[in-house]
Structure formats: C-alpha cells, structure tokens
Amino acid sequence: MTVHTAVVLLTAVIIGLIVGGLTFLSGGTVAAAVLAGLTAAGVSIPVLRSLIG
C-alpha cells in the first residue's frame, strides 16, 4: 500500500466517522448514522484521490 492510498483511506474513514457521529447526535438512529458514515466515506474516496493525487 502506498502512502497516497493510506492517506486517502484514513481521511475517508475520518470523514465517515464525523458524518456518522453528527448524524447520530442530530437525533438519527444508529442504523442511519452508520449508513450515513459509510456513504460519506465511500463518496469521499474518489474526490480525495483526485485532490491529494
């Protein structure tokens, strides 16, 4: 795994955790928070790859 890949994936995980946590704190259920976090992490990977690339 290259350093670029590690940075992109780590940043995507952090974004997913933030979005999931904020979703849960805003009154969403745990399932909705997990779904929002996974979606945010997945969507952010291509964007981060092009930005950091």
Q: What is the pLDDT of residues 16-38, one digit of tens each?
A: 999 999 999 999 999 999 999 99
Chain segment 41-50, per-residue pLDDT in tens: 999 999 999 9
Statement: the pTM of the whole predicted model exceeds 0.85 = yes
What contacts 9, CB < 8 A, 6 or more positions away? 45
In this predicted structure, what is the pLDDT of residue 26?
Answer: 96
Residue extents of the structural domains in the chain: 3-52
Q: How far is CA 39 from CA 3, 4, 5, 27, in A?
A: 23, 21, 19, 18
The pLDDT of residue 47 is 95
* Cβ neighbours for 34, distance < 8 A, ≥ 6 positions apart: 20
